Amino acid sequence: MLGYFLEPIAGVSLYLTLLGIEGKLIKAATHVFFWGAVVFTVGLPIILVKNPYISIIGDLTKLIGLVMLVMSK
Protein backbone atom coordinates (compact mmCIF):
# COMPACT_ATOMS: atom_id res chain seq x y z
CA MET A 1 0.00 0.00 0.00
CA LEU A 2 2.92 2.32 0.68
CA GLY A 3 3.98 2.00 -2.96
CA TYR A 4 0.71 3.51 -4.14
CA PHE A 5 1.31 6.58 -2.00
CA LEU A 6 4.91 6.96 -3.14
CA GLU A 7 4.15 6.53 -6.86
CA PRO A 8 3.03 10.16 -7.34
CA ILE A 9 6.28 11.40 -5.79
CA ALA A 10 8.36 9.27 -8.15
CA GLY A 11 6.13 10.27 -11.06
CA VAL A 12 6.55 14.00 -10.39
CA SER A 13 10.35 13.73 -10.22
CA LEU A 14 10.41 11.70 -13.45
CA TYR A 15 7.99 14.16 -15.06
CA LEU A 16 10.11 17.20 -14.17
CA THR A 17 13.33 15.50 -15.27
CA LEU A 18 11.93 14.47 -18.64
CA LEU A 19 10.40 17.88 -19.30
CA GLY A 20 13.92 19.29 -19.33
CA ILE A 21 14.84 17.16 -22.37
CA GLU A 22 14.35 18.78 -25.78
CA GLY A 23 11.94 17.33 -28.28
CA LYS A 24 8.21 17.57 -28.87
CA LEU A 25 7.68 13.79 -28.80
CA ILE A 26 9.43 13.45 -25.45
CA LYS A 27 7.38 16.27 -23.95
CA ALA A 28 4.14 14.75 -25.27
CA ALA A 29 5.09 11.30 -23.96
CA THR A 30 5.99 12.83 -20.61
CA HIS A 31 2.57 14.45 -20.32
CA VAL A 32 0.82 11.22 -21.34
CA PHE A 33 2.78 9.27 -18.70
CA PHE A 34 2.17 11.83 -15.96
CA TRP A 35 -1.56 12.16 -16.52
CA GLY A 36 -1.88 8.39 -16.80
CA ALA A 37 -0.24 8.12 -13.39
CA VAL A 38 -2.63 10.72 -11.97
CA VAL A 39 -5.68 8.89 -13.32
CA PHE A 40 -4.33 5.56 -12.05
CA THR A 41 -3.71 6.94 -8.56
CA VAL A 42 -7.11 8.63 -8.37
CA GLY A 43 -8.79 5.45 -9.59
CA LEU A 44 -7.24 3.20 -6.95
CA PRO A 45 -9.77 3.97 -4.20
CA ILE A 46 -12.58 3.51 -6.69
CA ILE A 47 -11.55 -0.14 -7.05
CA LEU A 48 -12.98 -0.67 -3.57
CA VAL A 49 -16.47 0.02 -4.92
CA LYS A 50 -16.00 -2.54 -7.69
CA ASN A 51 -15.15 -0.17 -10.54
CA PRO A 52 -11.59 -0.94 -11.69
CA TYR A 53 -11.91 0.64 -15.13
CA ILE A 54 -10.57 4.07 -14.19
CA SER A 55 -7.35 2.59 -12.80
CA ILE A 56 -7.01 0.28 -15.80
CA ILE A 57 -7.38 3.23 -18.19
CA GLY A 58 -4.78 5.19 -16.19
CA ASP A 59 -2.39 2.25 -16.21
CA LEU A 60 -2.77 1.77 -19.96
CA THR A 61 -2.17 5.49 -20.48
CA LYS A 62 1.01 5.29 -18.41
CA LEU A 63 2.13 2.32 -20.48
CA ILE A 64 1.53 4.21 -23.73
CA GLY A 65 3.56 7.14 -22.40
CA LEU A 66 6.43 4.87 -21.38
CA VAL A 67 6.45 3.13 -24.76
CA MET A 68 6.53 6.52 -26.48
CA LEU A 69 9.48 7.54 -24.29
CA VAL A 70 11.40 4.35 -25.05
CA MET A 71 10.70 4.61 -28.77
CA SER A 72 11.87 8.23 -28.88
CA LYS A 73 15.36 7.37 -27.67
At 10-54, the pLDDT tens digits run: 778 888 888 888 788 888 888 888 888 888 888 888 888 888 898
- With CA atoms as reference, report the closest residue to 53 among 43, 63, 65, 38: 43
CA torsion through residues 3, 8, 28, 62, sign = positive
Q: What is the reported pLDDT for 60?
A: 92
pTM over 0.85: no
